[in-house]
Structure 1
Amino acid sequence: MIEVRPSQRMRDLGVVQRGAGILAEPAGAFQLPADEDAAERVVVQLADAMDRIARAHDFSGKGMGLAAPQIGITRAAAAVRPAAPDAEPIILLNPRITAASEQMDEQYEGCLSFFDVRGLVPRPLRITVETTALDGSTVTAVYERGLARLIHHEIDHLDGLLYTARMRAGVEPIPVEEYRQTGRAWAYEK
């Protein structure tokens, strides 16, 4: 039996893979509330894709995020499902990081657009993010630790960046077969 590689499994589920131009371009902002219908459609498409992906892989330890460009949509929308079982998905429309802590940590991340490897990525432990609500108002939220990492990763996608752009010089991703933290939460000091 031929083993299906993780990246191929994600491709089969509709996730755009590394090398596609859409992943290297900034996503277009929504003009809300005028684009409310379009934004709602994209959010539904993200939720549907996340449901398909979650059936194929367990994200319970760290949570999961998906940006619209990863499903072929060039709009500034992303969704994050926190690891907490009862947590509501976080919808990010036109997200922008307005502040980041100087305190950083470095943890392994995966990306659905090249799921065969994991990379050690430094990120701030706390970020402040502004998003646009469907009614056009601005919403500000603060995220910490693992949730900050997930959200920062998705905002990078909307800016046309993959996590490899944030890795320290000389550090390379490792094959998923060498990664030993699948299904476990990121570790943080108390």
Structure 2
Amino acid sequence: MIQVRPSKQMRGLGVVQNGAPVLAEPARAFDLPAEREAAEQVIEQLFSAMERIGQVHPFAKGMGIAAPQIAIGRAAAVVQPPDPGNPAIVLLNPRIADRSSDEDEQYEGCLSFFDVRGLVPRPLRITVETTTLEGQLVTTTYERGLARLVHHEIDHLDGLLYTARMRTGVAPIPVKEYRQTGRAWAYEH
């Protein structure tokens, strides 16, 4: 049986892969509520992509996808928390307003860089400002794994892949060497 590279599988599901210019450019913010319809369409496309991907690949740590990953250069992302009982988080025009100085380093994967996993240091808590479809500013604080997922997606909207956050001298490892597939990130309580 021929093994399809994970990145090729993601490309087949409509996910733009590393090297595509849209991934390296800052996404354009929505003017809300004026562009509400456009924002709703992008959110719908993100949920549709998540559904396609979720049917092919399980994500024990939760998953997220940003509009540039489906070739849309707009500031929208969706994050599905690890617990499927929790609703998805919609991020429109997100901006990190505050971050804890406490960090940890965990392996991350990326739908646009799917053949490898990388050890990425991130803050344990971030406070994020987003805009609602009605144009209201909302501030939410995320912790631990959820902070990591949200931060990762905001990086996409800023034109960054997780490799930009990795410590100097630390390289991503091939996915076949990564042994934590199917397990949630571990945190001290």
Give the SS at the match of 1:182: coil
* Alignment of structure 1 residues 17-56 onto 2, 5 Å: 17-56=17-56
Could you report, residue by residue, the CA deviation over 1:73-125 in whole angstroms, capped at 9, with x for unpaired residues?
01000000001121100000000000000000000000000101000000000
Q: Which amino acid aligns with 2:6?
A: P
1:71 counterpart = 2:76: no
* Alignment of structure 1 residues 168-187 onto 2, 5 Å: 168-187=167-186
Partners of 1:22 and 1:44 in 2: how far apart? 19
1:80 counterpart = 2:79: yes
Q: TM-score when scaled to structure 1?
A: 0.99
Q: Which amino acid aligns with 1:132?
A: T
Structure 1 match to 2:147: 148
Structure 2 segments unaligned to the other structure (5+ residues): none
Give the SS at the match of 1:114: coil
CA RMSD of aligned residues (A): 0.4
Give the SS at the match of 2:122: strand
Q: Which amino acid aligns with 1:90?
A: I
* Displacement of 1:2: 1.5
Q: Which amino acid aligns with 2:41?
A: R
Partners of 1:8 and 1:170 in 2: how far apart? 27
Structure 2 match to 1:96: 95
* Displacement of 1:146: 0.2
Partners of 1:137 and 1:85 in 2: how far apart? 27
Partners of 1:98 and 1:183 in 2: how far apart? 31
User: Could you tell me the percent identity over the aligned residues?
Assistant: 72
Structure 2 match to 1:121: 120
Structure 2 match to 1:6: 6
* Displacement of 1:26: 0.1
Partners of 1:155 and 1:29 in 2: how far apart? 12
Could you report, residue by residue, the CA deviation over 1:11-36 in whole angstroms, capped at 9, with x for unpaired residues?
00000000000000000000000000
* Alignment of structure 1 residues 131-142 onto 2, 5 Å: 131-142=130-141
Give the SS at the match of 1:87: coil
Structure 1 segments unaligned to the other structure (5+ residues): none
* Displacement of 1:63: 0.1
Q: Which amino acid aligns with 2:50?
A: M
* Displacement of 1:159: 0.1
Structure 1's consecutive aligned runs of 4 or more residues displaced over 4 angstroms after TM superposition are none
Partners of 2:57 and 2:81 in 1: how far apart? 15
Partners of 2:185 and 2:155 in 1: how far apart? 19
